[in-house]
Amino acid sequence: KQEVTQIPAALSVPEGENLVLNCSFTDSAIYNLQWFRQDPGKGLTSLLLIQSSQREQTSGRLNASLDKSSGRSTLYIAASQPGDSATYLCAVLVQGGKLIFGQGTELSVKP
Amino acid sequence: DAGVIQSPRHEVTEMGQEVTLRCKPISGHDYLFWYRQTMMRGLELLIYFNNNVPIDDSGMPEDRFSAKMPNASFSTLKIQPSEPRDSAVYFCASSEQGYLETQYFGPGTRLLVL
């Protein structure tokens, strides 16, 4: 059974700092891995999608990597801003079209 | 496009009542997903449709839950009878052409069953 774990559960950093969020999954048989952002009381916004054949994806200040063989992904946020404060969710897409989510990392960027 | 639309945004009901949640996917998207989010279990897929046909409903917790998609622009998730443990945020999402594509989420319906 696929399980997705995110560490840390919560993170607080000062503005301007670079940071890394971690995601691990137990079964390497995935189609893709996605990082989402969730603001309080809101839905999820897709940030990056990495296909199983890819190693990384970049969008602006965000860079996500995927090491399928070791079951790990990282989301790197450069020069963090208070507006980056949110919960970040990692999810893997498995056979049958199911997205399996981690519990998320709650990020707080202090001005 | 307005994105995925869900209604109501908030619902408070009493145990035993029927609850109907509604979703309008993004126009042209062939896949529609229903998720439930709780503190204990996080985000879980309940059911998904392809071209209005249910493909996998293995995540539906009990027979009290049912979902329909009568046409490409509308889906419902019904709970009958509702129980306090059904209290959660229910999300609808849609994707274009295939479940390998990015899913776009609606704002969710926050359900409280008293």
Query: Could you read off the pLDDT tens digit of each residue along chain A, which spans 111 residues?
Result: 899 999 999 999 999 999 999 999 999 999 999 999 999 888 899 999 999 999 999 999 999 999 999 999 999 999 999 999 999 999 999 887 788 999 999 999 999
Q: For residue B99, what pLDDT is reported?
A: 63
Q: Contact B102/B33 with Cβ under 8 angstroms? A: no
Q: For residue A98, what pLDDT is reported?
A: 81
Q: For residue B107, what pLDDT is reported?
A: 93
Average pLDDT (B72-99) is 92
Spatial distance between the Cα atoms of B66 and A14, rounded to a whole number of angstroms: 46
Mutate one of B99, B104, B110 to test the A interface: name it (highest A CB count within 10 A): B99
Contact between chains at A46 and B103 (C-beta distance less than 8 A):
yes
Closest to A34 in 3D by CA, of A96, A109, A88: A88
Structure tokens at B59: 């995540």
Average pLDDT (B70-90) is 96
CA A13 to chain centre: 17
Q: Which residues of B touch A91 (CB under 8 A)?
A: 43
Contact between chains at A91 and B106 (C-beta distance less than 8 A):
no
* B95 DSSP β-pair partners: B31
Q: Contact B3/B72 with Cβ under 8 angstroms? A: no
**Average per-residue pLDDT for chain A:** 94
Residue B37 to residues A83, A93, B86, B107, Cα–Cα distance (Å): 24, 17, 10, 12
Spatial distance between the Cα atoms of B32 and A101, rounded to a whole number of angstroms: 17
CA A65 to chain centre: 9
Q: Which of B55, B102, B106 sits opposite A46 (nearest CB)?
A: B102
Q: For residue B72, what pLDDT is reported?
A: 94
β B88-95/B65-71 pair status: unpaired
- Residue whose structure tokens are 């503005």: A15
Is the sign of the CA dihedral A27, A28, A34, A35 positive or negative? positive
pLDDT at B103 over 70: yes
- Residue A41 Rama label (left phi>0; alpha psi -120 to 50; beta): left
Amino acid at B65: F
Spatial distance between the Cα atoms of B97 and A16, rounded to a whole number of angstroms: 39
Q: Which residues of A touch B43 (CB under 8 A)?
A: 44, 89, 91, 99, 101
Spatial distance between the Cα atoms of B6 and A3, rounded to a whole number of angstroms: 29
- Residue whose structure tokens are 């009542």: B17
Q: For residue B2, what pLDDT is reported?
A: 80
Choose the weakest-confidence range: A54-63, A92-101, B4-13, B41-50.
A92-101
Question: Which residues, numbered 44 to 103 in chain A, qualify as contacts with chain B under a Cβ-Cβ cut-off of 8 Å?
Answer: 44-46, 49, 51, 89, 91, 93, 96-99, 101-103
Q: Which of A97, A101, A104 sits opposite B99 (nearest CB)?
A: A97
Question: Which residues, numbered 47 to 86 in chain B, qualify as contacts with chain A under a Cβ-Cβ cut-off of 8 Å?
Answer: 48, 55-56, 59
Structure tokens at A85: 């404060």
